[in-house]
Structure 1
Amino acid sequence: MDDDTCMVDVARFFLDFTQGESCGKCTPCREGTKRMLEILERICDGEGKKGDVELLEELGEHIKDTALCGLGKSAANPVLSTIKYFRQEYEAHIYDEDCPAGACPDLAGAYVISDDLCVVCGKCARACPTDAITTNEETCLIDE
């Protein structure tokens, strides 16, 4: 994992797997992980709202305390750990509508060509799937 890894998406990935593996016998695991996954998907889709992080923490602790098996008791751990150590990423998704890692397509933000780094080679224009980059002798520009 590196700076291009979105920790919110990592939590979503692990919870998606765990939720799919739940046997469904106990309500906390069956419904709690489903609800947590819905919240994480909403956050990754740019539709997170104030209170989502706190709700994830509350649901996660409740599932840990009340699930019947080891899978259920540990299901929320990736979410709780990423919130504990990467809370600023959750907050960026919700409040700034930005994915700092650039991994969440709905939150990728605007693309920028750095004048300091651009050597006007045209590689970016050739690679752009929408032909949104124009070049001239001095610079490359993204059409808006």
Structure 2
Amino acid sequence: MARVEKSDAQWRAELTDEQYAVCRQGGTERPFTGAYYHCKESGTYHCVCCDTPLFSSRTKYDSGSGWPSFWAPVSDDDLRILQDHSLGMVREEVRCAHCDAHLGHVFPDGPMPTGLRYCINSVCLSLKPG
């Protein structure tokens, strides 16, 4: 997939205020409030900004963290992992590799087989059933 580049005005026009605040400004939604936190529907979760398939419902699990959690992405090539030094700690930030949307963070406390917990904001995702 090609790199998606849009102006700030284009992102603001295409996204809701909350989507813009999280995806484009690195914010976060309140825990236990996102549309996909308790979602059990099967399908593929896509980036809300560029429609890249990011996570499968087959790798989704209830981590108790307050955000949708996945133990693996559809493809590592579709994500960028960056060091995040905010909040007085070092975390691994997850971004879409195609449009640079902030998605959430990944932690090394997930289930096997990967041992990873991709903690992703619902507002950054759109679920395509299937």
Q: Output the TM-score relative to the length of structure 1.
A: 0.25
Q: TM-score, normalised by structure 2?
A: 0.27
Q: Indicate the structure whose relative CO is greater, using CA pairs within 8 Å and at least 6 residues apart.
A: 2
The answer to which structure has the higher strand fraction is 2
- Structure with a larger share of its residues in helix: 1
